[in-house]
A and B are shown apart, each in its own frame.
Chain A
Amino acid sequence: MKSCIVEQPRTACAIGGFYTALAIPGIVPVLHCGPGCVSQSAALLASANGAQNAHPFNEHIIPCTDFGEADVVFGGGERLRKNIENVARSYKADMILAINGCSAEIVGDDNEEVARGFSGGDIPVLAVEAAGFRGNNLYGHSQVLKAILNHVEPTGKAVGGQVNVWGVAPFYDTFWAGTLEKIGEALTEAGLAPNIIYGRNGGLDKVKAVPSAEFNLLLGPWVDLDIVRLLKERFGTPYFHYPAIPVGPTETARFLRELGEFAGLDRNRVETRAKEGEERYYHYIRRSLLWVYRCRALPKRYYINSGASTALSLHRYLVNDMGLIPCKIFLPEDVPEEHQERVEGYFRDVELDSPYDVVFTGDGGLAAQEIAASGRPKWSLFYFGSVWDEPLSNNERIPFLSVSAPQGNVMAMDKTYFGYDGALRLYSDYYEQVASKGLRTS
């Protein structure tokens, strides 16, 4: 039996996939699960993760059968059907997802049959299985996306320059909204036509346009790899996989160049953009140096304890642009085994030849155990984690940033660490922590 401690969860359960539905305006999830399941995911993925809530259908009006003991005995399918009927009459919905949680799955309530009962109606109703014992919210995210994309019909022809963006898990990636907006702007600047299904400008029309893309862009180490493969299979759309959401001048330039090569973009335009971004970035960095190098011991080593996508983006920036060295990287995300080797490889692909471990785990509490026992002077470290890690940072005075779900009392709003400008946010967040928690030398 493998390690049997799982504490300080950094992921919610599969039912949390409903956030992927809520991130697409017009889609309403109807949950067939216990009365508290929504609030469990809502805490970890939204309210305690960047002070987020869904809108316009917020967490407190998500239709839910509030599965109870009677449903175990008699089945709850009929109540699910009634709830869907009411949603169709009451919510401005373009699509409804009937999502099964743990209890409904164990007792065998057939949400597919319930969904089929609505076929031919004005609003499509799709069934999604998202039992918490089958996986975490990233499994749920995949289940929701697959259901939606399997429902989409081919459009017949590609629209020039259209690129769909994948890899960012809404809500779970605390900065998803700001990041996707900025990725969209960057792609537009590069001469492409981004199609992003989530967020303020997303919606079912964007979903329906997915098959007409020239290519799919996957930004991230493993999440949504199954999705771009599915889209290739269903619609023949090729995909460009860049493993990290780029943060900082090194990664952003590399991303732009590789994207340019894949998409056949104008090379001068790409280089001009990279040069402009770099100049602006270093302008502000230079303006901070007197303060940064003013009588303080600067940490050189870091630990990360976060989701894989966030960890990889940070890690590449910290190594390549900030000149830091990792101690150890913990990924308490239950990365599926089939992806682990690939993901580890992405972490090694940096401008540094130094040994460090990448740990795949489901135990959020593992990192704190090791850091506390590491024996390194705490001022020489920087710790990236979630609000679960904050007490260790406070008690030991380790400079610390909450970067991953659940981030705690952080307001995400439109914040992002993406690109050149985002790196300036991260750089400043980092040194504000060093200044307030680190070792002063005078």
Chain B
Amino acid sequence: MALNLSTPEVESREQRLGSITGYFGTQKDMAAKGCAGCLGNRKRCFTTSSSCAHTHALSLLGPIEGALVVDHAPTGCGAGIINFSIGRIYAKEKGLGHYKIVSTDLREQDTVFGATDKLRATIRAAYERHKPEIIFVTTSCVSSIIGDDVWSVVQEMREELPVPVGFAAVEGIKSKIWASGFDAYCHAVSDAILTEPRKKTDSVNYIAFNEFGRELLDPLIERLGYKVVYLTGNSTMEDYRAASQSALSFGQCGAQSSYLAGALEQKFGVKYFQSHLPFGGIGFERFYRDIAKFLGKEDVAETVIAEERAKYGPELARLREVLAGKTALIALGASYAYEYSRILRELGITPKHAVAYHYDPRLDNQSDDLVAAAADALELDDDIDTTVNDAQELETYLLVKREKPDLILSRAHGASAWGALCGVPAVEGRISLHIFGYPGLVALGRVIEEELANRNFVRKLGAVFRSPFTEEFERRDPHSFFEDEGDGAIG
């Protein structure tokens, strides 16, 4: 399905892809229903705090080098960005400062009279203070409900200011899926920065939060005669402008990368590979063969794959022996929940349950390629009990207590801490190039090996755990929060 790249506002994942935040069943069932276009979303009678699209658009627009974001919102809607901006200032190698995010500080009177004048004044003042290379204007719940015509102001400012002005309509109420904020970033970047290719170059695009771990990826792409254009945090406008010249794109996951890769494919014919993500050994081999075939370098691929197997095979065999029989519970994003199910099996670990923060039955590429979780189910016969919840950690907590895994593999949204509180070792589910190929697989195996080699911290923490919940709650089925019978209306 084509993206609506000419409209100012991005469509949410629910509308565009039929993505969901409520499901309980198996990976195979969900994949099959997703492919058949009949995957329903289940709603909950009780919800806890999650995350919003707004934050996740700011978190990716902010780090573009030279960018400034004017957030048409109460100041609090930009308070959370510090969690992301901190990452940049402590990554000292580039000497970059914080994200530049200026708020229009919407107040009560603005909700009555509107605040487009204030928005204009803020954009001008912010430009004067920081002299950015590009400005992005973002909307919020408040600006949207009061009906401010932000797009018109953006168009005016494009005439007035000497730098590009992008627009991201990204109010938190619009989507239950925070990854819709990634799409808003992609839509804004696509509209404001991407340009027609001057020429085709021997490059491939990698779209991700950051370029950490690139030392694993770069040499293997160079073996194919290509270099990687990184469209990640701290990328420059020039990097984004170069993207249309590449031969193909791939990304860290469907959630973060799909829309931009889809836009590059739709606008400039840059092929988007998304069915086989390059993580772990199996993932790498499938991915590498896919792109090598596309680039006409199949023979190189077979040589490289053989080398990688030979290099890491013995250590992998040792790790499999050490980790055999261990069990894990996974709580990660829409792609990584299932990537890790496969990767853990490569290490000899049995994943008992995968919690995914949402699920996309399809992505933004032009072809009918399966999403990675469905490809694994179909091609590898992979399957796992699975829950889709938007970081509904009460469910995850009950799952941890029910499954009693040897470890929990998660990140960012609180599940790891619940594991630790209950005495279950928590391993960071590192994403992106940290788990690229065989070296990433072996590195993960070693981390797990060492984590399990001394469990004293969580063992003693677990021993003093006292549940803050009622007995009735403790007896609840982790999936009893759904208020319908499942397979309801799509969306």
**Chain B residues near A199 (CB, 8 Å)?**
none
Most buried by B among A12, A59, A90: A90
What 5 A-B pairs are tightest by C-beta distance, nearest first?
A13-B76, A36-B52, A60-B414, A38-B49, A56-B468
A13 touches B46 (CB 8 A): no
Which residues in chain A, 91-126, are within 8 Å of chain B measured between CB atoms? 91-92, 102-103, 106-107
CB contact under 8 A between A63 and B50, given known A89-B473, A90-B472, A133-B142: no
- Interface mask (B117-131 → A, CB under 8 Å = 1, otherwise 0): 110011001100100
Which residues in chain A, 381-409, are within 8 Å of chain B measured between CB atoms? 387-388, 390-392, 394-395, 406, 408-409
Partner of B100, one of A7, A11, A92, A369: A7
* B77 touches A (CB below 8 Å): yes
Cα distance A16–B52 in the bound complex, in angstroms:
16
Nearest CB on A from B68, distance (A): 9
A40 touches B89 (CB 8 A): no
- Interface mask (B383-403 → A, CB under 8 Å = 1, otherwise 0): 000000011011001000000
23 A-B pairs within 8 Å (CB atoms) are namely A3-B125, A5-B122, A5-B125, A9-B76, A13-B75, A13-B77, A36-B55, A40-B79, A56-B466, A57-B468, A60-B391, A60-B393, A64-B48, A67-B141, A69-B173, A87-B46, A90-B394, A103-B145, A133-B106, A134-B108, A365-B129, A391-B97, A409-B86
Which residues in chain A, 50-105, are within 8 Å of chain B measured between CB atoms? 53, 56-69, 71-72, 82-83, 86-87, 89-92, 102-103
A90 touches B473 (CB 8 A): yes
Interface stretch (choices A41-49, A158-166, A264-272)? A41-49
A106 touches B95 (CB 8 A): no
Cα distance A369–B121 in the bound complex, in angstroms:
19
Cα distance A122–B102 in the bound complex, in angstroms:
46
* Residue in chain B with minimal CB distance to A64: B49
Partner of A60, one of B49, B79, B172: B49
Partner of B473, one of A45, A91, A387: A91
Nearest CB on A from B135, distance (A): 13
* A195 touches B (CB below 8 Å): no
- Interface mask (B51-91 → A, CB under 8 Å = 1, otherwise 0): 11111000000000000000000111111111100100110
Partner of A34, one of B52, B118, B146, B413: B52
Nearest CB on A from B310, distance (A): 41
* B13 touches A (CB below 8 Å): no
Residues of chain A at the chain B interface (Cβ within 8 Å)? 1, 3-9, 11-16, 31, 34-45, 47-48, 53, 56-69, 71-72, 82-83, 86-87, 89-92, 102-103, 106-107, 131-134, 136-137, 362, 365, 369, 387-388, 390-392, 394-395, 406, 408-409
Nearest CB on B from A82, distance (A): 5
A36 touches B48 (CB 8 A): no
B470 touches A91 (CB 8 A): yes
Partner of B48, one of A8, A40, A61, A137: A61
B105 touches A64 (CB 8 A): no
A72 touches B173 (CB 8 A): yes
Cα distance A440–B393 in the bound complex, in angstroms:
51
**Chain B residues near A92 (CB, 8 Å)?**
468-470
CB contact under 8 A between A103 and B141, given known A7-B102, A53-B417, A60-B391: yes
Cα distance A44–B77 in the bound complex, in angstroms:
11
* Residue in chain B with minimal CB distance to A45: B79
B173 touches A44 (CB 8 A): no
**Chain B residues near A61 (CB, 8 Å)?**
48-49, 393-394, 397, 414
**Chain B residues near A391 (CB, 8 Å)?**
89, 96-98
Cα distance A35–B390 in the bound complex, in angstroms:
10
* Residue in chain B with minimal CB distance to A86: B46
Nearest CB on A from B2, distance (A): 24
B74 touches A132 (CB 8 A): yes
CB contact under 8 A between A91 and B82, given known A1-B121, A102-B141, A133-B142: no
B75 touches A60 (CB 8 A): no
Partner of A133, one of B50, B97, B107: B107
* B45 touches A (CB below 8 Å): yes
Cα distance A45–B49 in the bound complex, in angstroms:
16
**Chain A residues near B468 (CB, 8 Å)?**
56-57, 91-92
Partner of A35, one of B79, B95, B178: B178
* B104 touches A (CB below 8 Å): yes
Partner of B79, one of A41, A71, A408: A41
A31 touches B49 (CB 8 A): yes
B173 touches A40 (CB 8 A): no
**Chain B residues near A60 (CB, 8 Å)?**
48-49, 391, 393, 413-415, 417-418
Nearest CB on A from B275, distance (A): 30
Which residues in chain B, 170-210, are within 8 Å of chain A measured between CB atoms? 172-176, 178
Nearest CB on B from A174, distance (A): 13
Cα distance A7–B51 in the bound complex, in angstroms:
22
Cα distance A86–B90 in the bound complex, in angstroms:
41
**Chain A residues near B456 (CB, 8 Å)?**
none
* B290 touches A (CB below 8 Å): no
CB contact under 8 A between A42 and B80, given known A1-B118, A9-B75, A391-B98: yes
**Chain B residues near A106 (CB, 8 Å)?**
111, 142, 145-146
